[in-house]
Amino acid sequence: MSFSGRSLRKYVISPRSKSWTCPGNISGRIPQCFNNFTFLVQQDISTPNMIPQTEFIVMRCENAFVYWKGQDKEYNKTLRLLKLIDLSSNRLVGNIPKQLSLLRGLVSLNLSRNHLTGNIDSEIGQMNVLESLDLSRNQLSGEIPVGLAELSFLAFLDLSFNNLSGNIPSGTQLQGFNASVYAGNNGLCGPPLAACLPPDGPSSANDSKFDAGFYISTLLGFVLGFWGFIVSLVLKNSWRKAYFELWNKIWNWTTSTINARRLR
């Protein structure tokens, strides 16, 4: 089954729903209509909400097993208070819709084991009460947004086996997670992973240009100085005479010193 307008009307639980778990045979792109979930958009569920006049199939159940924060948990009487979206282990493609960031009442989001691409939305920090986020085993790229570090209630995180790169935002609780949370992202660095290497782009290029310029200027200075000295000897008779007399004195002093040491 693929996401489309009709299939969405069939599998979305209702605008008042607090959980959405889809079967593992869905393909296509995630629809950009999550702002219809009024109970998830509003962080305070005690506030009356205007419900869109749209017909959806309502599914009711008394209890359920939910994989949340890395553990299987059973919810019965408190199921109606649970607010989560689980689209894991499907064949979803494309970017994660920016509309997900509008769900400020969402507690758990699981999009793992799909084929999602693109960046993690920089506005994810607006999901103030999010406690569990699993985006593992996709093809997400780019850097980890700083907004992710602003989720103060985040207790479970899994970004492993994507194509993320760059420095893990420092000075936040993101360093408190185990390194396995970031495994499989060869471009990531910084605590709790290995330290980031200093950039070798522009600075190294500038250093190499400086070294080349230094050697060239030194060579030119030597050549010009040498030939300037030779020209001076040729043109100035007094300089030439003084120069050869100097070398003659040096030669005589050297030979006399060597002979004196031999006689000893």
Q: What is the pLDDT of residue 94?
A: 92
pTM for the structure as a whole: 0.60
Which residues have CB under 8 Å from 91's CB, separation 6+? Answer: 25, 26, 27, 28, 114, 115
- Per-domain boundaries in the chain: 5-189, 202-263
Q: What is the pLDDT of residue 239?
A: 73
Rounded distance between C-alpha atoms, residue 95 and residue 11, angstroms: 20
b or e along 118-139 (b: 16 or more beta carbons within 10 Å of the residue's beta carbon)?
eebbeebbbbeebbbbbbbbbe
Strands 141-142 and 115-116: unpaired
Which residues have CB under 8 Å from 199's CB, separation 6+? Answer: none
Rounded distance between C-alpha atoms, residue 35 and residue 22, angstroms: 18
CATH architecture group of domain 5-189: Alpha-Beta Horseshoe (3.80)
Q: What is the pLDDT of residue 202?
A: 55
Q: What is the pLDDT of residue 26?
A: 66
Q: What is the pLDDT of residue 208?
A: 63
Q: pLDDT, tens digit, for every residue of 133-154?
A: 999 999 999 999 998 988 989 9
Percentage of the chain beyond pLDDT 70 is: 62
Q: What is the pLDDT of residue 24?
A: 55
Rounded distance between C-alpha atoms, residue 233 and residue 59, angstroms: 105
The strand ranges marked E within the chain are: 19-21, 27-29, 64-68, 71-75, 84-86, 91-94, 108-110, 115-116, 132-134, 141-142, 156-158, 163-167, 187-189
Q: What is the dihedral of CA 153, 110, 149, 194, to 10 degrees?
A: 120
Q: Please list the ranges in the chain whose pLDDT falls under 50.
A: 1-17, 38-39, 41-63, 79
Q: What share of the chain is helix, strand, coil (3-state, %, to 5)?
A: 40, 15, 45
Q: What is the pLDDT of residue 1?
A: 45
Cβ burial of 12 (10 Å; 0-12, 13-18, 19+) is: buried
Per-residue tokens: 92:
């979803």
